[in-house]
Amino acid sequence: MASKDEIRASHRARRAALTRAGLESAGAGIALHGLAWASDLTKGAPGTFAAYLGVGSEPPTLPLLAALHGAGHRILLPVCEPALALSWVYWTPASEFVRSRYAPIQEPVGERHDTIVMKHAAGIFLPATAVDFSGNRVGQGGGYYDKFLAALTDVIPAGTQESDGGSLPSLPTAAVVYDAEVLPSGSIPAESFDRKVAAALTPGGLLRLQP
């Protein structure tokens, strides 16, 4: 079994070869299927979703953010804080972005909220470089989301479910990856601090995983 670092490096190299047209096509598919997932979770009503802004060759999420906003949903984007903590800012198309002090990402400007704001959320779109059908995820390697997902169970404990190799987060989660980055079950090593994800959102559709 390849290590998380090996999987991450391999997929990043593949992403670096993507063309502008490929990125635009991927962004359109992610927006289409991500909006459908959100609408399913809220039964068509407006809701609140945590998401993130994909940069560089990451799966483009700006079209998804715009689609969610256009459908009346509220969107929370992360801000990296010291000690691998995340805070959250409500985003609109008028929001400004600045370079993060702690990670290679763009962050929204605005009032910051801690994890307690997730009590109002219907679901979470997570960054990833790979997922497998066991629900295991390879993130960006920073550790921010591992800590956030662990803290989430203190805020919303009632929804936590135990699976056959790790606990599911308290809210529905979808990791955003390219189609080829959804791997067979057991491809990704799981560690004690990992939290599994319930779905993979790809340009080709939403895939339900089996954690």
Confidence of residue 169 (pLDDT cuts 50, 70, 90): low
Distance CA 130, CA 7 (A): 7
Distance CA 174, CA 198 (A): 6
Looking at residues 183-211, what average pLDDT do you find?
Answer: 89
Distance CA 137, CA 190 (A): 8
| Residue pLDDT, tens place only, 107-156 | 999 999 999 999 989 999 999 999 999 999 998 878 899 889 888 888 88
Using the predicted structure, report yes or no on whether residue 66 has a pLDDT greater than 50: yes
For the chain, what is the mean pLDDT?
91
Please report, for the chain, the start and end positions of each structural domain, with discontinuous segments joined by +: 4-208
Place of tokens 């979770």: 41
Q: Is the pTM of this model over 0.85?
A: yes
Amino acid at 17: A
Distance CA 22, CA 12 (A): 15
Structure tokens given for 9? 């490096």
CATH topology of domain 4-208: Rossmann fold (3.40.50)
Using the predicted structure, report yes or no on whether residue 42 has a pLDDT greater than 80: yes
